[in-house]
Each structure stands twice: as C-alpha cells, then as structure tokens.
Chains A and B, each alone.
Chain A
Amino acid sequence: MNFLAIGTEIAIALLMLIVLAADLLLPKDVSHRRIGVISMVGLAVILVYTFGQYHIGASPTFFGGLFFVDNYALFFKQLFIIGMLFTILFSLEYTEKLLRYRGEFYVLLLSALLGMCVMASANDFITTFVGLELMTVSFYILVGARMTSEDSSEAAVKYLIVGAASTAVMLYGMSLVYGAAGSLVFSEVCRNIHLFYAAGLAGVIMVIIGFFFKLSVIPFHMWAPDVYQGAPTPVTALLAMGSKAAGIAVFMRILYTAFPILGNFWLPLLAGFAALCMIGGNIMAIRQTDIKRMLAYSSIAQAGYMMVGMAAADLAGMKAVLFYAMLYVFANLGAFAVLTVIDTERGGTSRRDITGLAQAAPLLAAVMTISLLSMAGIPPTAGFAGKLYLFTAVVERGYLWLAFVGFVMSMISVYYYLMVAKAMYRDLTPEEAEYAAPVYVPLTVRAAVLVSVFATLGLGICPEWLASLTNAAVQTFMR
C-alpha cells in the first residue's frame, strides 16, 4: 500500500474534518471568515505539496493500479485546487452575507474537491464512480445552499433529478462494459475484444453519456442553464470550472486508456457533438440577459471547444485540452469573482445589474472584460493561445471542418461577450445615475481577480509557461 500516492486526498479529507470541527467550536454569531482562511491555507499547502510530486518515470499507484498518481492527474488536481482556493478567496464576503450554513459550506466545497481529485487519479470504473458521486452529491447540496432563495432550491432539486437520471445511465453503462469486458480496470478493459459487441458498445456509449451530462453537452445540457442561474454564484463558478474539468479529466483517461480500440466508434461522435455544442451553446447564449445563464450556455460552447481537442486524439490534442482547461479556470475565476461581488452588492446578476460597472468599480469591469475576451479567444489573452492549440491540433488530424466551425462560432461568441462589456462601459443616462455609485470591493476579491487577470494575460503573452507543464502531464499517454 502506497500511502504517498493518496497523500493529497488524505490531506484534503483531513482538512475537511478540521474545518468541520472548527465550525463546531466556533460560536454561531461570529464571522466565519476564519474558517475560510483555514481552508485556504490548507489548500495552499496542499497545492505546494503537489508541485513536488511531478516526476519522470514510473508513477506511484495505489492498489495494483486502481489509483494512479501520474503527472496528468497531478495537473488536474492542481487545477481543481487552484480553482477551489481562489473561489473561496473571492467568496468569503458572499458566504458571510448570504449563506445560512457557512461552516458546512466550506466542508462541502472541500468534499467536492476530494471527489474531483479522486476522479483525476481513478484508474477503474468503481473508483471513478465513487469519486464522481462524492463530487456530485456535494454539488447537489451546494447548489441548494442559499436557503433563502427559491431559485437555489429549485435548481438543487432539478440538478438532483436530472443528475440521478444520468447516474443511472452511467452505472448501467458501466455494468454493461463489465459484462462485455469482464473487468473494471481501464487497462484491462481495453484489451477485451468483446467490447465490439452490442453490449460493450452500448455500455461505452452510456458511460460517455454520463460524462456528456457532466460536460453539459447538448442534448444532455438541459439542467445547466437553470442550475447555473439558481446556484449561489461561487458554486456556479465551481460547476463551470471544477466539475467540468473533473469530467474532462476522467473522460479523457477513459477514452484513451479503456476504449482506445473503439476509436473509430467514438471519434466521430466526439467531433459531431463538439460541433453541436459550439453551435448550439453560442447561439443560445446570444439571447440571454442574465449573465450567469449566459455563462452557462457559453460553458456548453466551451465544452465543445475542449472536445475539439479530444477529437484530435493525439498528444497535441490532449495538451491543448489541458491548456484550455487551465486557462478556462482563470477566465472563470475572473468573471465569477466579479459576478459574486455584483450578486452580493446589487442582488442579482442580470445585464442590468452590471450597468455602469466601469464607473462603480473600474477594476471589476476591466477584469470582467479581459476574462470574457479570454473566453472568446481574443489575443493577447490566454484564450487565443488555447484555441490556437486546439484548432491546430485538430486540423493536423484532418478535421478541418471542425476547426472551421469552431472559428466561426468563436467569432459569433464575441458578440454576446461584448454585449456584457458594452453594458459595463456605456455612458449612463441620467435616470441610471445610481449605478455609478462606487461598489464595495473586498481586498480578497481584488487579490483573486488580479491573480486571474495576470494569469490570463501572462499565459496569453507567453503560453510556453503552461505548455511545459502540460507536456509533462501528457507523458503518461506516450506509449
């Protein structure tokens, strides 16, 4: 038993328990920020620790390869931890003001993180499933964490029901795969030729559907807009970056290690659904007036872009996906940090609520604009480099049409991203003068958004910094 391999997970679980205990010890009516601070410090330590785990050569495993700590898993774990760390950082104020169970909120965030980390390392279907459920169950509760808001509760119930349907399908798929392949371990599944029978194929497709649900791929996306809009803003942020990235992490691993022989079967599917997502997500986003809802649709499109990289099915494609997932985290951090402040101060996230933000809080308006431009892929933000990597990877594999669709749709997406910028930067009419009143921006939010903006611009100007990390991460798949 190699406990070193699950060191990160043990540390997160411990941190979770510490936070839980600290919450019990803390009197009810004092500020719970210090609990958030404890979680952040813990996460920061863990993050530093994970950097030390990058390695060349054989990767540590736990229990005969069921749990695999390769550079790929490490990369995603860092991504989750960064996302979580900064989400806690910018939502300290929000949590304090709007949530009823503040201590438990942090506990649930950490448990979701634990689930994600398990998924990133999982090398068999059972571990995957358990990690996935840990994350998803935590999110069911987190989505409903804003007790006073009916939207939040409604979103939670919807997420639960559709999520249960998806879990059922996925579990059914796993059982069919087990029936066909006689094993649950990825590296053993891939050797079994029986996967080519109907049961195997149906099982594979159902597993894929389960992940499509997590990535909110059309037509399994219906939950996303309602849930994104209703959930507390920091939770929406985590759904967009953490939950999605975790899905991608394990999805890619399954596709490339468990089902590589079925490439001809799932590659056209991935390409087709990538195009569908890019087209549908962007078109539907145009009509939205609530920014969280718009970001939900845009996240569908973003999932499409990342699937473009997966459809390339080679190292360049994987690197591009990893790169894009990371920069998407930073873009989301910026955008949602701003939305969190807006939600706290102005009580909503519609386009009306951000009117005049350029005067009320110029920093936030700038960060929002840069983050959205990064999502649209405008140079010199990181999004441009990311899309460049994705599309070149897929063009080299012959999917020229897919890159073309992606390119056209990116252009269309600029429209609705800029609508947001316009709402923030346009001149105010005299009736709207109240919107120019300064908005209180906590120091923590300032720190979080500055980090996100520097990362977005830094990676856009010099993408090589991150690219070297993704190079290390895809080593696992060099065979």
Chain B
Amino acid sequence: MFSDFMLTHAWLIPLLPALAFLWIGFFTRLHKKRSAAIAITMSSLSFLLACGVTWAVLSGPITMETPFVQKTLWFEIGSVRIFMGSLVDPLTAMMLMVVTMVSLLVQIYSVGYMAHDPGAGRFFAFLSLFAASMLGLVIAVNFAQLYVFWELVGLCSYLLIGFYYDKVSAREAAKKAFITTRIGDFGLLLGILLLQITFGTLDFQELKVLVPAYIWISGTSFMTIVGLLLFIGPIGKSGQFPLHVWLPDAMEGPTPVSALIHAATMVVAGVYLVGRAYFIFSALPVVMNVIAWLGGFTAFFAATIALTQRPIKRILAYSTISQLGYMMLALGVGSLTASMFHLMTHAFFKALLFLCAGAVIEAMQDEADIFKMGGLRKKMPVTFAAMTIGVLAISGLPPFAGFFSKDEILGAAAAVSTPLYLLGTLTAFLTAFYMARLLFVTFFGEASPGCPATETNAFMRWPLIVLAVLSCVSGLWGHFAGFGEWVYFGAAEETGIDWVIAGTSTVLSLVAIGLAYEIYVAKRWSAYEISQRFGVLYTLSFNKYYIDEFYTLLRRTFCDGLGRILYWIDLHVIDGIVNGLARLVGVLSTIFTFLQNGQVQRYVAVFYGGVIVLVAYSLFYAYKVLTLLGGAF
C-alpha cells in the first residue's frame, strides 16, 4: 500500500520545488526568510518523498528491468503522441535521493551564506527551480520530457551563474555556460529527432525493445551516428573535453550554486543521460570506445590543469571535470554500476568540498587564491575537518566513499583495456596530489597577520557535517549493501574489491599526499623551482592548455568576420526593412485612429462600407457561378 502510494506520487517530487519557485517568484521574492523557509520546506518534503520512493523500490518488485512507469498524454499533434510521466527504477531512485538530499543541504547552507545578500529571495526561487528541473529530468519517461527539463537545467544554470548580474565576469560566465552547453544540446536534439523519425517513439521502455531489434536487423552503422549525436549533449553538459571550458568559469556564481552544479543538478545530468539511454550506447561498440577514451582523456587532462591553478574553486572545478571523466570512462568500459556508484559518492564529497570552499572564501572575505590563505586549521576547525574528509574521499583512501567507487571504475577499466586503466590510475595519483596541495596550502602553514577568518555559522556548519558523514559512509554502505545488485545494466554486478588494483591506487594516493606534504608543508622542495624545471608543461597547465584562447581565436576569425558581414547586412538591409515596417505601422495607426473618432455616425458608415464591399464580392461570385454554368438551372 505505502509503496504503491509512493510510486504513484513520484511526480510530486519535482513538482514541489517547482511550486516553491512559483510561490517565491510571485509572492515572497522580497522576503528573504519567508522565501528560504518555503524553499527548504518544499525541498524537505520532496526529500522525504524520495526516501519513500527509494524504500518502495528497495522493498518492492522493482528492478532495472521492471521499472514502475506512469504516464499521461501530454499533447498530440497529428500522429505524434507525446507523453509525460514518471519512470521509477533503482537508478531513478538513487538519483532522486542524491539530488533531493544535496539540494536540500545546499539550500540550508545558503540560508547562512546568502544572509546578507539583498537578492536572496530570487536566489532561493532559482535554486528551487534548478532542483525541480533536475528532478523532472531524472524521472522522465521519454526523451522529449527529458529534453525539456534538460534545457530548463541549462536555463537555471544560466540564471544562477549570472546571479551577480552587475558583475561583468559573472554575466560573461553565464553566457559562456549557456552557449557552450547549447552547442552540445543541439547535437542531442538532432539525435532525439533521428530517434523519433526512425522509431516513431521516444519512450525509453519502447525504445529498449526497438533499438536492439533494429540493430540486429540493419547493423550498427546508422545507430552509431545517432549515438554520437546523443553523446554530444552529455559532452557539453557534463563538461567533457572539448566543451569543458564553461565549467571552471561557472564558479562566478555564488558558491552554493557551484556546489549544486558540480555535485547534483547540472553536470551529472549528462552522465545520467548516458546511463538512462545505456541500452542504446552499450549496443554500439564504436560509441562506447569514444565514451571511454574521451572520459579517460578528460579525467587525466583536467587533473593536469588542476595541479597548477590557484583559486580554490577553480581547482575544485577542474577536479569535477576530472571526476566526470571517470564516470564517463566507467560507462564507456561497460560498467553502469561503477559509474553511478561514483556519481553518488562524488555528489556527496564534491558538495562537501565546495561548501567548505564557500565557507573558507566567506571567512576570507572573498579571497579565493589559496596561496593568500594558510593556517586556517585552527581558526576553522569544523571546516578543516570536513575538508579533510572530502579530500581523503576524493583521493580514494579507504574507508572513505571515493575509495570504493573509484576502485570499481579502475577494476572495470582494467578488465577492458590496460591503457585506460593506466590512465585512470595516473589520474588518481594526480588527483590525490592536487587535492592534498589544496588542503595543505589552505589550512596548514602560518596564518597571515590580520586574517579575519572565524568559524562559520550553524546554518552553514550542519550541512557540512552531514555531508562529511555521508562522504565517510556512503562508500561503505554501497559496497556492503550491494549497490551493484541494485543499479546495473545487463547482469547484476558483484561488488568485490580487486585488492591489487585497490592497493596500487591507495599506495599511489598516499605517495602523492606525502609528496604534497613535503612540498607545501615541510617545504623540502621549492614549488617554484619545480615549476621552473617543468617550464613549458607548467605554463601549458597553468594556462589551461590555451584552450580558451584557442576558442577566442576561432571566434575572432570566424564568428567576428562573419559577424561583421552580417552586421553590414543588418544595418543596411534589415534595418531598412524594419524601419520601413515601423513607419508603416505608424501610418496604419494614424489611419485607423482617424476612422476611430468616436462618432457613431462614422462607425455606421464604415460598417455599411464593409457591407457594400462584401455584397459586391458576393455579386462577383454569383456572376462567376452563372458564367460557369452558362445560365443553367
């Protein structure tokens, strides 16, 4: 009974935050506290519902193969019938839990973080909409619904990254995020349209039956194109190379937003899409290879950039790209379980890291450069503890969450391809190093004199603690409770630990942390000298391989050149037409106003004028009929 109720009401989960958005947007926008209260209430309710749904999934007969689907006809044009509804399977349930929990914690945190911001009401409205869009995406029953929410997520990220709209850099970053992800969305849209054209449906359950049959009959060549197009969407949204450039800039938004984007609501949408449509991708070896290698490369590539960055949030941003690369790698080598497991643990520890970073930045009065911090360990003990847990988790040290999930990924990669496994392991080493660097530089050493930092307030502290606990236990829980029997594709996976792989990566991580300690705390080697020695590499990494500059160059030559031509056309041709039209409208208005002079006699005259014209038309028609019939009847 209870579980049925929960499943049939799963659609409430995205609806509640959406209501919060409407309510705040329309009524309480100007009241900070009321807005926060509404947003948090709705988020809590939807978190509770998500718990209920998860319980129902765990206790009921629902598995990956037999999901619970409930849908209603949304609209119908011609023969195309588009449905809307909710699809609940273990994957959905896991995502619902993660998204509602992280967004709830972020909202609570924001109460403290945004306490002095005059736009806090707007902020909570956007946060609610953000969560609602992501939840809607998660429970989508078909590609159409998914795409709608996918775009909504993009819109929300635009609104939130550009939240401080009076700052030029924020506006630019928002635009960059929106446009870059739009490029990906275009590919996704093409893919979806091809699916609709080929199969006549966008429904996941129906496609699950149709796609394998289609591939069996006509081979993989056409579907490979579809699959690649579909994958372009996740490349943009999940910040894979080469469309990753928006993600580091996205830190221009308020820090809670970064936490939300990086952990739960935006970037994982791409990973989730691949997971949701895994029945398409997994049948296409070429696409799988692309996913695996692109993921692996992105993981390594982003990690090398993160080594040299200085602003705290930027380091975290590149670490996110790197971790997303891991998830893609796992998907590419065929392990949905590992990818989703890592998605979950990552959501917790990345949210934790970002919220800690926010606390640090706030304590340092908006100073973001880690080398201008230092010695915060004593001033902010709780934050320090939380941050340490986060760093250990992301570095993959047992028994923290990252250890288990990363180990799964590496194991899956090793089973398929040794180069990929090596790439992953190397990335793990780099990850441990740069995260340790972040931790040591920020919290150890000597505090600069006059450093204003103090411990954060309760609203910000408690979410940190909750997330820290989750970062400790979620891996253990997933490992022992059998995550792989729950979220899987094909056959259920055993969650075992390959001790060789796990041991290697753990040792490497420890070495990396030790190395970082020697360099940044014990100062045995000078960081500066090292950077000098690897001059070219350092410069490349520090400047993010000049990819942004490359894009700028591209834009300058192609877009601006084209733009100049188009601008000329616009100025001389289009404007001419538009101005002419505007003048025409003015003239028409004058004529009509002249007629509309308030005299009823004139109204009647115009009326009869119309009558005469129409009667003349009927005469003309009658004449035509008569000539046509030649005077018959």
* Chain A interfacial positions (CB closer than 8 Å to B): 157-158, 161-162, 165-166, 169, 193-194, 196-198, 201-202, 204-206, 208-209, 212-213, 219-220, 222-223, 225-226, 265, 269, 280, 283-284, 286-287, 362-363, 365-366, 385, 388, 392, 396, 461-464, 467
Contacts and interface: CB of A to CB of B under 8 A. Distances in A.
* A194, A198, A362 interface centre (most CB from chain B within 10 Å): A198
Nearest to B601: A161
A222 B607 contact: yes
5 contacts: A165-B604, A196-B625, A204-B618, A283-B589, A392-B78
Contacts of A219: 606-607, 609-610
Nearest to A160: B600
B72 A162 contact: no
B619 interface: yes
Interface string B608-621: 11110011011101
A197 B625 CA distance: 8
Contacts of A463: 74-75
B221 interface: no
A196 B623 CA distance: 10
A196 B614 contact: no
Question: Interface size for chain B: under 10, 10 to 19, 20 to 34, or 35 or more residues?
Answer: 35 or more
B217 interface: no
A366 B603 contact: no
B598 to A, nearest CB: 7
Given A198-B622, A283-B585, A205 B614 contact: yes
Contacts of A208: 614
B76 interface: yes
Nearest to B30: A359
Contacts of A280: 588, 592
B542 to A, nearest CB: 44
A162 B607 contact: yes
A223 B603 contact: yes
Contacts of B101: none
A462 B76 CA distance: 10
A286 B589 contact: yes
B321 interface: no
Contacts of A205: 614-615, 617-618
Contacts of B602: 222
B77 interface: yes
Contacts of B72: 462, 464
A158 B614 CA distance: 23
A269 B618 CA distance: 10
A222 B603 contact: yes
B596 interface: yes
A259 to B, nearest CB: 12
Nearest to A213: B607
A169 B608 CA distance: 9
B600 A198 contact: no
Contacts of B77: 388, 392
B537 interface: no
Contact of A464 (B76, B596, B608): B76
Given A157-B600, A205-B618, A363 B595 contact: no
B26 A464 contact: no
B528 to A, nearest CB: 52
Contacts of B625: 196-197, 201
B617 A209 contact: no
A226 B602 CA distance: 13
A166 B600 CA distance: 13
A166 B608 CA distance: 9
Contacts of B618: 198, 201-202, 204-205, 265
Given A205-B615, A219-B610, 8 more contacts: A198-B618, A198-B623, A206-B611, A206-B615, A265-B621, A366-B26, A392-B77, A463-B74
A464 B617 contact: no
A365 B26 CA distance: 8
A144 B27 CA distance: 37
A208 B73 CA distance: 38
A144 to B, nearest CB: 14
Contact of B614 (A209, A223, A388, A392): A209
A197 B622 contact: yes
Nearest to B622: A198
A57 to B, nearest CB: 25
A158 B600 contact: yes
Contacts, number: 106
A201 B621 contact: yes
Nearest to B615: A202
A147 to B, nearest CB: 20
B145 to A, nearest CB: 12
A284 B607 contact: no
B241 to A, nearest CB: 34
Contacts of A365: 26
Contact of B610 (A202, A220, A284, A392): A220
Contacts of A220: 607, 610
Report the 5 A-B pairs with minimum CB-CB distance, sorted nearest first.
A198-B622, A222-B603, A201-B618, A366-B26, A219-B610
A193 B611 CA distance: 24
Contacts of B74: 461-464
Contacts of B623: 198
B585 A161 contact: no
Nearest to B598: A226
Given A196-B625, A220-B610, A464-B72, A158 B27 contact: no
Contact of A201 (B585, B593, B622): B622
B216 interface: no
Contacts of B499: none
Contact of B27 (A194, A204, A363): A363
A165 B596 CA distance: 17
A453 to B, nearest CB: 10
A363 B26 CA distance: 7
B633 interface: yes
A222 B606 contact: yes
A66 to B, nearest CB: 27
Contacts of A265: 618, 621
Interface in B38-84: 72-78, 84
Interface string B425-436: 000000000000
A263 to B, nearest CB: 12
B343 to A, nearest CB: 30
A54 to B, nearest CB: 19
A201 B589 CA distance: 33
A213 B607 CA distance: 9
Contacts of A396: 78
A365 B633 CA distance: 63
Contacts of A162: 600, 603-604, 607
A212 B606 CA distance: 13
B151 to A, nearest CB: 12
Contacts of A269: 614, 617
A209 B614 CA distance: 8
Interface string B1-38: 00000000000000000000000001100000000000
A356 B73 CA distance: 40
